[in-house]
Amino acid sequence: MSRSCLAVILAAGDSTRMKSSMSKVLHPVANRPMIAHVMAAVASAGMTDAALVVGRDAEKVAKAGSIDEISVKSFLQTERLGTGHAVLAAREAIAQGFDDVLVAYGDVPLITAAPFAAAREKLAEGADVVVIGFHTDKPFGYGRLLVENGELVAIREEKDATDEERKVTWCNSGLMAINGRKALALLDKIGNANAKGEYYLTDLVEIARAEGGKVVAVDAPETELTGCNNRAELAVIEKLWQERRRHELMVSGVSMIAPETVFLSFDTQIGQDALIEPNVVFGPGVTIDGGAVIHAFSHIEGAHVSAGATVGPFARLRPGADLAEGSKVGNFCEVKNGKVGEGAKVNHLTYIGDAVIGAHANIGAGTITCNYDGVNKFETRIGANSFVGSNSSLVAPVSIGDGAYIASGSVITEDVPADALALGRARQEVKPDRATLIRERALAIKAAKKAGK
């Protein structure tokens, strides 16, 4: 749209029903604060300016609500006197004279750009106030949208509605768009002559109509307008978000054997023809390229898995893990800040930290890169086509050359040249009959203890 638009995001609530030590809008959905989801939707709707009305945890909320795509200015609401009062906390921003002013809430993280766009279209067509509503088969408790001849004539609260009005299933979400040229004049007319002495944004419907303005409503999916007041509702929102994102990925060509067991982050990217087995968790910052396979019970965060690579089962990729094409990280392995080269294999029971593994290298079971000395971390470099035997410890900083062999059970503390064999273990000795003597002595000690009782 060529029209300018200011989004006013209300995020100053005390969150008392959340029973939390932090603001409700800071609670994460898909590993992202609720408020950030709302701001992302605002940005995707083409709005470049936002006024964030904050209260509790003001600085943290402002930080969480700051995203690159949009200019955000925060306004502190020191008193809680209703939604109309909250919007006017951003008076300075509204007064700049935007074409459209859109009011949203920081605890509606499932919202997308579509309802915002629909509301703005109605403003462009001449409406002064546009209410975003939703249809539900459980309307109890919601304000009903009463429409006559295509215009919204009232929002009737449950307690004030007649029996006939209670049958209406089109309900008020609280989200609203206002003609920016008239916004302040209309908002200033909201009074507080009610039982709570608060200023209700919904009064704009009657105020605008009394001024001869046009008021309409637009519809949006109920799930997108789901708000959050407690931990149970937060879990429902998480479930809905996950279901929506899984569906998007599967439609795009990603296979999930048991999608309900896969948990994604807000920024998880998975390419076409990737396969995700059951019980996989994706933390933030993950990219899975097409054709990769993530086996069951794996946990991946801050990692990149290239095409044709396989992970798991029971694998953990931590931030900085980067798996090249055709590589493998197998069961009960952990990779942190490690690059696994093309076709390289880290098959089982292995820790790779702060390391670079060359193409087609093989890392045996039980191998660890000893990257931390208690103060600093160091890098291990393992060359292409090298072979590291099982139960080896590579003490960083250390470099293993291309094609080198590390004997099983070795502790490697010095660099190993290309194509060399390195052994770092004590020579084996065999003591005939010594096991019998040790066993007899142990049995005698046990018998003496038993006799003493």
Q: What is the pLDDT of residue 157?
A: 86
What average pLDDT does this structure show over 190-215?
91
Given pLDDT bands bounded at 50, 70 and 90, which one contains residue 159?
A: confident
Of 37, 85, 299, 348, which one is the catalytic site residue?
A: 348
Does the pLDDT at position 1 exceed 70?
no
Token pair for 108: 């509606």
**Domains and their CATH numbers in the chain:** 5-225 (3.90.550.10), 245-422 (2.160.10.10)
Q: What is the pLDDT of residue 452?
A: 82
Does the pLDDT at position 428 exceed 90?
no
Q: Are 276 and 258 in contact (CB under 8 A)?
A: no
What average pLDDT does this structure show over 328-354?
97
Does the pLDDT at position 2 exceed 90?
no
**Does the annotation mark 348 as catalytic?**
yes
Does the pLDDT at position 25 exceed 90?
yes
Q: What is the pLDDT of residues 398-418, one digit of tens each?
A: 999 999 999 999 999 999 999
Q: What is the mean pLDDT of the chain?
A: 94
Given pLDDT bands bounded at 50, 70 and 90, which one contains residue 437?
A: very high
**pTM for this one?**
0.90
